[in-house]
Amino acid sequence: MLKIDEFYFLNDEMNKNQFKWFVLLMLSLIWGSSFILMKKALLGLSPIQVGALRILITAFFLLIIGFKSLKKIKKEQWKYVFFSALLGTLFPSFLYAFAIDKIDSSIASILNSLTPFNTLIVGTLVFGFIFQKKQLIGILIGLVGTLILIMKGASLNPNQNYWFALLPIISSIGYAFNVNIIKKYLQDLDAIAITTGNFILIIIPAFLVLFFTDFFSAFELNETTEPALLYILILAIVGTGFAKIMFNKLIQISSPVFSASVTYLIPIVAVMWGILDGEKLSVIQLVAGVIILFGVYMVNKNK
């Protein structure tokens, strides 16, 4: 099995362009599977517990493998690591848990594809990256696909609250800020240091959330919660800790929009898992997903 340190230095042995595509494909498989893991964990845990436990377990895992890397973070960089932690990890961890508790995991994964749009918009308006007018076409196409997806989903699944579809969209904006913050302010910082620093800063908020929701006093291990904890463990270590290191490295060796383009492939993996788990998607929803991905492709193609 590939170890963290072995993976991290693969780029020394591999062409940089090949390496970034390798990381992109690995992330699509890992994060594409994260949605079904959250869905399964929610069978035995509440959304607030899923979000907080995911953060805590990941934080302890990263402390084991990356504690020494924290000394690489300079004093003036900590504020950017903090903003990255809030926008790229803390808030999305809870928002996605609440979303998948109310809507299909495959739908949440498709909405996650809006990340490259928001990365481009945030990068242009806030961080001063170059923006081409042609890319507006791709953004508009993607938004049309999003509206079709949400409206059709609401009519197809009247028992689901599609207002919660807004949560993945909000998360994608947080991801967009995170990508641009790392690219502009933390470009030369070790990827493991960034990831470990992120989680060190949000351990206490996650712990307080569990404490004030009576998790430590009311939680019981049983046939429902035991598998839920196993899913969270896999999600935290592989889908969050390991994947975050990979993603932060990808941001550093590529462009912000290319990094966010992992969301091209995530829905393919997530939708396959969703269908295997009994989720239903109409032809119109699949077409809407293709429209979104085509819009994202156009945004990235014209960069």
Which of 244, 262, 216, 269 lies closest to 81 in space, CA to CA? Answer: 244
Which of 123, 99, 110, 129 lies closest to 275 in space, CA to CA? Answer: 110
In a domain, 223, yes or no: yes
Predicted structure pTM score: 0.81
**Percent of the chain at pLDDT above 90?**
41
pLDDT tens for residues 156-191? 777 888 889 899 999 999 998 998 898 889 988 988
In a domain, 20, yes or no: no
Helix (H/G/I), strand (E/B), else coil: 2:
coil
Instruction: Domain of residue 230: give its range.
Output: 28-301
Judge contact between 248 and 195, C-beta under 8 A.
yes
DSSP at 114 = G
pLDDT tens for residues 199-220? 999 999 999 999 998 898 888 8
In a domain, 9, yes or no: no
d(CA 265, CA 27): 9
In a domain, 18, yes or no: no
Model confidence at 36, pLDDT cuts 50, 70, 90, reads very high
In a domain, 13, yes or no: no
Q: Hey, which of 3-7, 142-146, 166-170, 269-273 has the most confident mean pLDDT? A: 166-170
pLDDT tens for residues 279-303? 777 788 788 878 877 776 776 664 4
In a domain, 49, yes or no: yes
In a domain, 117, yes or no: yes
Q: Output the average pLDDT for the chain.
A: 84
Judge contact between 224 and 86, C-beta under 8 A.
no
- More confident call, 257 vs 171: 171
In a domain, 157, yes or no: yes
Q: How many domains does the chain have?
A: 1
Phi, psi of 9 (to 5 degrees): -105, 10
pLDDT of amino acid 2: 47
* Residue 56 scores a pLDDT above 70: yes
Which of 275, 236, 263, 267 lies closest to 37 in space, CA to CA? Answer: 236
